[in-house]
Amino acid sequence: MASPVAHTFAGFWIFLARAGQHGKRVFEPARSPYLLHLGVLVLLANLPDADFLVGLAFKANEVHRGASHSLAAAIVVSAGLSLMWQMVSGFWRSALLYFTAYSSHLLIDLCTGTSLGWTSSGSGMPLLWPWRREFSSPLILFFGVQHENLSALLRIQNAWSALYELLTCGAISAVILVLRLRYTQDR
């Protein structure tokens, strides 16, 4: 699994794409609903790892990367949230937005492993749960975080992984924001 840093950036990128569709400024006053929208998308992008917290609390690490890391869970969560609250007009448009945020987590974890590049070092996850087959990408873009127990979670390698994600995703975000600024100035 990647750290929450990469997943948070993915939620932020989806927020930027949504705001860009409507020609809105990204950073509007705090009274605007955009902070709530950003929070929901970032939460959805991190939600599949909630099973990790449950597993850590009950010392059951095998719970992690189970059903919550599947397309079925993404569909159920997206549809359920869209029934309760629609961030954009229309059930299906909201469900698609929520599905995109949730699935960003799956995509990042799919490309997470022990070494970067075309290494096929991913640990796999059950995208088509309840079928047991696990999927992973041959292209690894993020280092996996060690999370067997609390002491493994606090290892220095995990701090380096989070720093790598911060620098990589931060650079991508900077490019997106610069391009977005240029685009809005040209209009």
What local confidence, expressed as pLDDT, does residue 159 receive? Answer: 86
Residue 60 banded pLDDT, cuts 50, 70, 90: low
- Domain residue extents for the chain: 4-186
- The answer to whether 123 and 144 are in contact (CB under 8 A) is yes
DSSP the chain: ---HHHHHHHHHHHHHHHHHHTT--SS--TTSTHHHHHHHHHHHHHGGGHHHHHHHHTT-GGGTTSGGGSHHHHHHHHHHHHHH--SSSSHHHHHHHHHHHHHHHHHHHHTEESSSEE---B--B-TTTTS---B--SEE-EEPPP-SSHHHHTSHHHHHHHHHHHHHHHHHHHHHHHHHHHHHHH-
Give residue 16's Cα distance to chain centre: 14
User: Which has more confidence, 59 or 185?
Assistant: 185
What local confidence, expressed as pLDDT, does residue 152 receive? Answer: 67
Mean pLDDT for the stretch of residues 88-95: 93
Interatomic CA distance for residues 116 and 159, integer angstroms = 16
The structure tokens 């047991």 sit at 132
What token pair was written down for 30? 């705090």
What token pair was written down for 81? 């949230």
In one letter, which amino acid is 165?
A: E
This prediction's pTM: 0.84
What local confidence, expressed as pLDDT, does residue 25 receive? Answer: 57
What local confidence, expressed as pLDDT, does residue 102 receive? Answer: 97
Residue 115 banded pLDDT, cuts 50, 70, 90: confident
- The answer to whether 1 and 49 are in contact (CB under 8 A) is yes
User: Which has more confidence, 132 or 140?
Assistant: 140
